[in-house]
Structure 1
């Protein structure tokens, strides 16, 4: 059976033609490589998957500023997570 896994260049060409699944696959590949620059570029192109992956990373790091940036860039997951974190009551300051 032939390997039908598309390479990055093929995925990029398909994404440039408007294929959202190819854009999502590019985001998954960038995430697997830890390539935050590419994930941010994909977010700028409107890739919701990239926004989700970047949000997941920001939540894990506890980076509220990054969540705000992602929210401002249109990542709905980031907006929801930021609201969730900011609305969680905290204990009194010592």
Structure 2
């Protein structure tokens, strides 16, 4: 059986991490952080925005901010010398 993570990466998805800062209505001065991570497609991020829509509908916490990091993990190979110098001798 093939790994789901590999299949979605082959479809163009990359690993997306979101830092969601939120507060509960009864404690507005207490800012909390939730880390979310899933494979998603940049720049539209449909999986993340579905999760945020679910949050707004089902969770009583109010989102203050969302920071997104995205890395496409399957890409053409590249390399460089550890010391920065390429020598063919």
Could you tell me the TM-score, scaled by structure 1's length?
A: 0.30
The structure whose RCO (Cα within 8 Å, separation 6+) is larger is 2
**Bigger helix fraction:** 1
**Bigger strand fraction:** 2
